[in-house]
Amino acid sequence: MNMEHNGKGALDGIRVIDASRVLGGPYAGQILADHGADVIKVEPPQGDETRGWGPPFDGDAASYFLGLNRNKRGIGLDIGQAAGRELFLHLIDSADVLIENFKIGTLERWGITRALLQDRNPRLIHARVSGFGADGPMGGLPGYDAAIQAVCGIMSVNGEAGGAALRVGLPVVDMATGLNAVIGILMALNERHASGKGQFVETTLYDCGFSLLHPHLPNFYLNGRTPERAGNAHPNISPYDTYATGTEPLFLAVGNNRQFATLCRALGCERLAGDPDFATNADRVQNRAALKVALERRLADHECAAIAGTLIRAGVPCGAVRDVAEVACDPHTLHREMVVDAHGHRGTGSPIKLDRTPVSYRRAPPAFAEHTTEIMDELGLAADAFEDVLPRGIRVPGASPGKDRK
C-alpha cells in the first residue's frame, strides 16, 4: 500500500541533526521525520553499525537499519578530526534539534560543549540519549537494551512462573527511550515559542526501563513484596492470561465484572459469574488457578479464532496468539496503513495519525552518505576545506575531478 501524501507534516520547517546510532536516537529521528521534519543523519566514517546487523540485507544495508532511518537525508562525517567538527558545527548552526548518543564525555572532549552549542545556536534543542546519564553511581557507563532490561528489573518479571528471567523479545527499552526523547523534544519546541530559547533534553535507557515497571513498582511500593514471574498472567487482574482452547491458545484480558459475566454467558457457564470465589476481581485473583481450570474446560470445545471473534464482538477483550507473519498481512493491519510501500522500500507505518497534517513517507532510508553533496551545497560550504573528513567515494561540490574521493 502506497501511503505518500503531498501535504506538509506537523513538523514541516523543523531541521533535525540526527547524530545518533543504533536504535533509541534513530527511532526518535524517524518519528520526527515521518511527520515532516528535515532530518539529516550524520554517520561516522564506518557508518551506523546497524547497517551490518543482518541478515536480511537489502544491498549493503540490514533490515535493522532500514526500519529506523526512512525519511532522512544522509551524510558521512569524521567528527574526530578538526575539520569534521567544524562541518558538524555548521550543520548544528542550521538546526532546530540535535539528537545524539555519543558516549558521555565524547562531545566535550572534542570541545563541543553545551555552552558552545548554546552560544552558537541559542534556539537549539539538544537531545541526548544515553545508557545511564552523565552522573550518579553508574553515570557515563554504556548501555544496550537487553543489559538495561536485566539491570532495571524487567527481565525479573518476564518469564514463566518458576522459570529463569527472560528478556522481552523486542527492544522495548530502546523504543521507549526514543519515544520519550520525542516527547521531550516536542515539549522543548513548544516552550521555545514562549522563551525563544532552546534547552537540553535528556533521556536514558535506565530511567526509561525503570519507568516501564508498571504495575510491579506500584505494587511493591504498597505491599513491599518483590514481584515474581508469572508467565502470561497479570499480577493484579484475572482472568488475564493465556488459556488453552481446542486449537491455538487464546489470550483473555477481562478487566471488570461486566466483561466476566459476558465471558461466562458466551461460554455457557453463567454459574461461574455467580460463584462467590469469582464474584470480584480480587476474588478471581485469589482463586485464579481454579478459575483457569474451569474456563479451559469450556474453551476446549471451541476453535480459537472462532471463539475469539465471538467474544471480542460481545465486548470481551481477547485475541488469538498470532505470529508476526499473520499480523503483517492481517486485513486490519493493512486497513490501518501500518505496512507501507514507498520509494521501493517496505516499512512499518507510523502509529500516530493526524487528520490535517498526516504522516508522509518521502524518502527511503539513505544509502551511506547519500546526500553529502546536496547538504554541502545547502550550507554553501567550500568542499576543499572538508574533503579529508568526508567518506571516500563521495563527490564533493567544487572539487576538481582529480580531487574526487575515490
Contact between 278 and 272 under an 8 Å Cβ cutoff? The reply is: yes
Which residues in 205-260 belong to E strands, given as ranges? 240-243, 250-253
Among 174, 207, 323, 404, which one carries the catalytic annotation? Answer: 174
DSSP secondary structure letter of residue 157: G
Question: Which residue, chain included where needed, has cell 539528537?
Answer: 99
Q: Which residues, other chains included, contact 104 with Cβ-Cβ below 8 Å and sequence gap of 6+?
A: 130, 133, 134, 139, 140
CB atoms within 10 A of CB 75: 27
Q: Do the Cβ atoms of 163 and 230 come closer than 8 Å?
A: no
**CB 355, CB 379: distance < 8 Å:** no
Collect all residues with Cβ–Cβ distance below 8 Å to 118 and sequence separation of at least 6. 124, 198
10/32 Cα distance (integer angstroms): 9
b/e map 288-312, b = 16+ CB within 10 Å? beebbebbeebbeebebeebbeebe
Say how far apart CA 364 and CA 349 lie, in whole Å: 13
- Whether 174 is catalytic is yes
- Please give the full DSSP string across 341-403, using - where no structure is assigned: EETTEEEEPPS---SSS------PPPPTTTTHHHHHHHHT--GGGTGGGSPTTPPPTT--GGG
As a whole number of angstroms, the distance between CA 177 and CA 37 comes to 19
Which set of grid coordinates corresponds to residue 401?
575531478
Q: How far apart are CA 293 and CA 296, in angstroms?
A: 5
Chain centre distance of CA 223: 32
Q: Which amino acid is at 188?
A: A
Which residue numbers are catalytic? Answer: 174
